[in-house]
Chain A
Amino acid sequence: SQQGEEDPQALSIQEGENATMNCSYKTSINNLQWYRQNSGRGLVHLILIRSNEREKHSGRLRVTLDTSKKSSSLLITASRAADTASYFCATDDLGGATNKLIFGTGTLLAVQP
């Protein structure tokens, strides 16, 4: 079953603009991760935020986590054409029987030069 659901499914912006993607999940978590996937490649880890953290930064990336709303957002500032990719959130299956991350279906970001 899908835990994380990203919103929007697709986003098109101009270079230099900010891009915001949202992720909602259903159950309690220990941490939430964001990944990027370029076309034809594997996923690349961006940020991991723990359930006791509210905000985390890495370069042009800012991730927030609201455990009361079971949601997270990924903000990419001053976007570049190279940021064009699919972005996925993933949560741990807290209380689940398997050691697994549950991935959402992703947001496809297109940054127009």
Chain B
Amino acid sequence: NAGVTQTPKFRVLKTGQSMTLLCAQDMNHEYMYWYRQDPGMGLRLIHYSVGEGTTAKGEVPDGYNVSRLKKQNFLLGLESAAPSQTSVYFCASSSGIRGLDQPQHFGDGTRLSIL
């Protein structure tokens, strides 16, 4: 039972490059989330999904796109990477009403550096 798996674990990009972060969950959860974690700022929600084929913007969506083509996968794309996107990215999944009355299960993160 893997839970939430994120790939890759580390990545270094040059400004302007693009990449996709993959999140996979094996708990049949409806809700999936992408967060970024920066020092002193806690976790901030980038985008989220309430089910297969749906996505919605979170608190800091600019510069990112997401897709949820399959229930178990949630992809986060950086179209043109900028140094301000250097961060640790976490994916999470949850069940329950609006995904807020049950625990969220987190992956171990992707550490992304933009040079």
Contacts and interface: CB of A to CB of B under 8 A. Distances in A.
- A contacts with B: majority SS: loop
B100 A30 contact: yes
Interface in B37-74: 40-43, 45, 48, 50, 56-59
Contact of A43 (B48, B56, B100, B106): B106
B106 A99 contact: no
Interface string A22-48: 000000001101000000111111001
B4 interface: yes
B113 interface: no
Contacts of B45: 98, 100-101
Interface range for B: 20 to 34
Interface range for A: 20 to 34
A67 B99 CA distance: 21
Interface string B91-115: 0100000111111111111000000
A65 to B, nearest CB: 15
A103 B98 contact: no
Contacts of B41: 105
B109 A42 contact: yes
A49 B108 CA distance: 25
Nearest to B49: A99
Nearest to A88: B42
Nearest to A106: B42
Interface of A: 2, 4, 30-31, 33, 40-45, 48, 50, 88, 92-93, 98-101, 103-106
Q: Please list the 9 inter-chain residue pairs (A to B) with the smallest Cβ-Cβ separation, ordered nearest first.
A: A42-B106, A45-B103, A92-B100, A103-B43, A105-B42, A103-B42, A99-B98, A43-B106, A42-B108
10 contacts: A41-B109, A43-B90, A45-B103, A45-B104, A93-B100, A98-B56, A98-B57, A99-B50, A100-B48, A105-B41
